[in-house]
Amino acid sequence: DTAVSQTPKYLVTQMGNDKSIKCEQNLGHDTMYWYKQDSKKFLKIMFSYNNKELIINETVPNRFSPKSPDKAHLNLHINSLELGDSAVYFCASSQEGADTQYFGPGTRLTVL
Amino acid sequence: GENVEQHPSTLSVQEGDSAVIKCTYSDSASNYFPWYKQELGKGPQLIIDIRSNVGEKKDQRIAVTLNKTAKHFSLHITETQPEDSAVYFCAAGLKNFGNEKLTFGTGTRLTIIP
């Protein structure tokens, strides 16, 4: 059983396009996160949502818009893609009040 | 905000030897310190964690130590095996409105030499 899943696994697109990445967790967790991992493997939090409410927004450009239709899903929409957006994006989830975060397999975004 | 430094960035050890990875953090309010293992093409997987009220924790071949006064913590892997080869990340966690905000170190690429 997949705990945290992301689609697509790979995404190649042209500069200026708009794209979305989807995340779903079947762990019953209340909190979900988006992280960005750059080419040097540096992992940095972008957003977190708790019960569909935005909790953390780490000075991410407003071209990035997370959307949580329900507490099991957190999607990431990116407008006007730029070369610097190329990275691996990870979704994660945790139970409210607990510490452990469980990561998805990642989505490798390449902007040409 | 929190800043986590991790050393070394790369580490090669002979199979069967021990490996040690060290991290320091800046915010004394951080109280949760997990270690993640990331294999090629996969997401980070939690391997061990420690909370600020504990100085040491062990799980089979893996142990973590925490020195809150000095604000540093370390991962120790004994009797290393080829499958231990991966990138390891430390992180420091701070509660934010009931949820954990993790700040990650820059990673250590561990290679086990058969």
Q: What percent of chain A clears pLDDT 70, i.e. is strictly above it? A: 96
Per-residue confidence (pLDDT) for residue A77, from 0 to 100: 96
B1 touches A at CB < 8 Å: no
Per-residue confidence (pLDDT) for residue A97, from 0 to 100: 65
Average pLDDT over residues A14-36: 95
pLDDT at B98 over 70: no
pLDDT at A4 over 90: yes
Amino acid identity, position B8: P
Per-residue confidence (pLDDT) for residue B96, from 0 to 100: 60
Give the integer Cα–Cα distance in Å for A73 and A69: 6
A90 and B44 within 8 Å at the Cβ level: the answer is yes
A68 touches B at CB < 8 Å: no
Per-residue confidence (pLDDT) for residue A7, from 0 to 100: 96
B44 and A31 within 8 Å at the Cβ level: the answer is no
Question: A11-15, B42-46, B54-58, B97-101: which range is least confident on average?
Answer: B97-101
Q: Which residues pair with B110 in a beta bridge?
A: B11, B86
pLDDT tens sequence across A26-80? 999 989 999 999 988 899 999 888 877 887 778 788 899 999 999 899 999 999 9
A56 and B89 within 8 Å at the Cβ level: the answer is no
What residues of B are in contact with residue A99 (Cβ under 8 Å)?
32, 34, 49, 51, 93, 100
Average pLDDT over residues B22-29: 94
Per-residue confidence (pLDDT) for residue A99, from 0 to 100: 75
Of A4, A45, A103, the CB nearest to B101: A45
DSSP of A13-82: E-TT--EEEEEEE-S--SEEEEEEE-TT--EEEEEEEETTEEEEE-S--TTEEEEEEETTEEEEEE-S--
Place of tokens 């953390």: A56
Per-residue confidence (pLDDT) for residue A32, from 0 to 100: 92
